[in-house]
Amino acid sequence: MVIVAEISIHILGMLLGLSIGWLTYRGYTITRSPTMLRLTVAFVSIGLGFMVDTVDPYIDGSYSMLSTTLSAVGYAFIALAYSVQKGFKYMVPLLTLLTFLIYPFFTISGNSLEYVTKAIAFMLIVYGSTQCMVISLAGRRAGSLMIASGIGLMAVAEFMDWYGMIFYSALYTYLADLLKVSGISLILLTIYMLIRSMVRVNA
């Protein structure tokens, strides 16, 4: 029963992530905004990460690192989309290099590289959520605040998932998936309304 619920959440996360990717790409075709294009790459990556999680149990269960990497790529593009610091583009390759440099020093049983990559992913999504919140509070727009809240939920979810991996707790992983899907749902609703208003204006 738990496995069915977990797979259902993964399928839902995949559909939501890819839906946001499609909507933001549609927004990009209207506005040619680099932010929309970055969000397209971000949520397509996150959606594909959920897809890998969905099929992984039916293959051999060894693709969790690929899912983690796809999520990290997605979070990097979210952070890049909302970064107000021009030097952020240099942080992504730096964090990637840092991941490979420090993971041999981790003595955690299992895939140490995956643990470190997930920690890097958490730092990226926290950076993205804080930057988005700063921009949202400056503009005081309800839609921007909703997106910032959604990204914030994803950041909490990523921490819970990382915590669950460290202490082998399936409960934390399950709750993390629920929070992540909730955050993505909030973002999808907001972006859908935003794109709809753009189409109405350009009609």
Tell me: the pLDDT tens digits for 71-121? 988 998 888 887 755 555 556 566 666 666 655 555 555 556 777 778 788
Report which DSSP code applies to 84: -
d(CA 71, CA 121) in angstroms, rounded, equals 7
Give pTM, 2 decimals. Answer: 0.81
Who has greater pLDDT, 98 or 26? Answer: 26
Q: Can you tell me the mean pLDDT for 17-28?
A: 92
Q: What pLDDT shows up at residue 102?
A: 59
Number of domains in the chain: 1
Q: Which one is predicted more confidently, 203 or 129?
A: 129
pLDDT of residue 180: 92
Structure tokens, 106: 């981790």
Residue 136: give the domain boundaries.
Answer: 2-202
Confidence of residue 50 (pLDDT cuts 50, 70, 90): very high
Cβ pair 94, 123 in contact under 8 A: no
| Helix extents (H) in the chain | 2-31, 34-55, 64-82, 91-102, 112-139, 142-166, 170-202
The span from the CA of 112 to the CA of 169, in Å, is 17
pLDDT value, residue 84:
59
